Amino acid sequence: MRRRLTSWPEESVPPPTSTAPPRPSFPKGLLIPWHAALRDRNAPDAVLRALARIEDPGTAVVVCGQQPGIWGGPLYSLYKAATAVAWADRLTAAGAPAVAVFWMGADDADWDEIAWGTVPRSDLGLLRERWTSPLPTARHWVGSAGLAPAVPEEAAGGPPPSGVMAALARGTVAETFAAFLESLLGDRGLLVLDARWPEVREAGRPLWERYIDDHEAIAEAVGEQGRAAFGAGEEPPIRGEEAARGLFPLDGERREDLDPGEWQGEVRRRLAADGGRSLAASVVLRAPLQDFLLGPQAQIVGRGEAAYLRQLHPVYRRLEIREPVRIERLHATLVPAGVLPRERLRDAVEDPEAYVAERAQDAVPAGLRAALPDLRKTIRTRLEDLTGSAATWATDLGQLGASAARKIDQQMNRLADAVDRKARQSLYAEEPRLRHVPEFLRPRRGPQDRGLSAITAPLLLGEAAGETVLAAAAAHLDRLHDGVRHHVAIEVNDA
């Protein structure tokens, strides 16, 4: 199996900075659950060495994050992780030792957002699954769900590599997700931190105390930032009530639904009673908590995530937390090189429907292809001439002519559709996978990395999936360093 990377420019961007300022002291309490989790998963030695280095404030941290998902979550989760590892490698090569950390939001409670999986079949058609929550309540943390379904046998590429297979059998959504990332990038030292650990919330106590004393002003500032974004044409990710509450009181692993009038008193009571172990960060404080604890040099983000973080600028300012450099993640598309010619990759990725339609037209005999638009043009011209010359003699002929034109257009469209169907039948008979190329490249007309599961990468790229995606991430960062964001095509050739 051969793999090749191709890229094309999308937009000029400011090059990211590689300066790595010193971090605050790492919370020692986090090391205990982290070591235990890595031992339980038999994490690679490189991951254990990375955890040992993170205690040193001279070691820079590059962070990214996402909720855990089934079958590795969306493909962009893997692209985020690979970009973080690649940026940490760049910092280390430049003389600033660095490690990559994936902040796994296993304490998220939005089951509908994570309970799906999509993988391709060998013909590039898509297999979609959606799972019912096994959790006791709708507000329960998704990471603890006992659900680890196998990949269907009819998925493209056959069974995934053995390391990925072992990861998929871990038992819970969070354990499977963490083991999946380690199976692909663990040999490069990727660390996965589980936000469910009570030690994470306990280490956040100083932040909670700062927040609760200033929460009303913070909510107003977040709302104002959102209104400014809306005025500039950007939809604010955080709205109304979301901005007002930065902490969720917990009942075990379930978010409690409190009356707004009780919220502040309950949060203060819990801070005094258990140091914040029974409080979880909401959308207002998740990123600030991450950066308060880890002090990262850089955070790898998607475009929507960047908009959310911009709205949090006032939270960082008021809580006196240094914001990391925000670096856009790898944007890539897996493409079947045996189906798409290299010189047409960009056309196919950006508008696969138009690409296939053009290929289908190539199957239409040249004479017929030229005759159809000529016939339509001739009929329209003759009809316009007829109604125009008769307009002064019989005014109702203009209306009749317009009606006739509409009916003729309908019939011409039917004729063109029949030709297109025949052309596509001929094209698909010769190249069957082209039938499903549009849906594979842009599932439901959206980006592939949002519509396919991350397990697709090892299914199509085999044992070299981690290495290949990491090479794509390094190429992406090279282009960013030059001030241009590129889209990367990762070609998969089964020949």
Same domain, yes or no, for 373 and 451?
no
Cβ within 8 Å of residue 40, ≥6 positions away: none
Residue 390: per-residue pLDDT = 61
Residue 4: per-residue pLDDT = 85
Residue 423: per-residue pLDDT = 81
Same domain, yes or no, for 457 and 353?
no
b/e 135-163 (16+ beta carbons within 10 angstroms → b): beeebbbbbbbebbeebeeebbbeebbeb
Query: Does residue 15 lie within any of the structural domains?
Result: yes
Cβ–Cβ under 8 Å, residues 289 and 310? no
Query: Does residue 211 lie within any of the structural domains?
Result: no
Query: Does residue 415 lie within any of the structural domains?
Result: yes
CB atoms within 10 A of CB 242: 17
Query: Does residue 333 lie within any of the structural domains?
Result: yes
Same domain, yes or no, for 470 and 385?
no
Residue 495: per-residue pLDDT = 43
**Share of the chain residues as helix, strand and coil, in percent rounded to the nearest 5:** 55, 15, 30
What's the total number of domains in the chain? 2
Same domain, yes or no, for 49 and 168?
yes
Same domain, yes or no, for 106 and 78?
yes
Domain, as residue range, for 193:
2-204+284-338+447-493
Q: Residue 179: which of 379, 190, 201 has the closest Cα?
A: 190
Q: Residue 157: which of 394, 476, 452, 471 has the closest Cα?
A: 452
User: What is the pLDDT tens value at each position of the chain, 495 positions in all?
Assistant: 456 899 999 999 999 988 877 788 888 899 999 999 999 999 999 999 999 999 898 999 999 999 999 999 999 999 999 999 999 999 999 999 999 999 999 999 999 999 999 999 999 999 999 999 999 888 999 999 999 899 999 999 878 899 999 998 888 999 999 999 999 999 999 999 999 999 999 999 999 999 999 999 999 999 999 888 877 787 888 887 788 889 999 999 999 888 878 888 999 999 999 988 999 999 999 999 999 999 999 999 999 899 999 999 999 999 999 999 999 999 999 998 788 888 899 999 999 999 999 888 877 776 666 667 777 778 777 777 666 666 566 666 667 777 777 787 787 778 777 877 888 888 888 999 999 999 999 999 999 999 999 999 999 999 999 999 999 999 999 999 999 999 999 998 654
CA dihedral 43, 45, 49, 52 (to 10 degrees): 50
Alpha carbons 321 and 374: distance in angstroms, whole number: 67
Same domain, yes or no, for 355 and 327?
no
Residue 1: per-residue pLDDT = 47
Query: Does residue 239 lie within any of the structural domains?
Result: no
| C-alpha separations of 471 from 217, 447, 475 in Å | 45, 20, 6
Same domain, yes or no, for 319 and 395?
no
Query: Does residue 267 lie within any of the structural domains?
Result: no
Same domain, yes or no, for 316 and 374?
no
Residue 398: per-residue pLDDT = 66
The residue behind tokens 């913070």 is 218
Same domain, yes or no, for 295 and 165?
yes
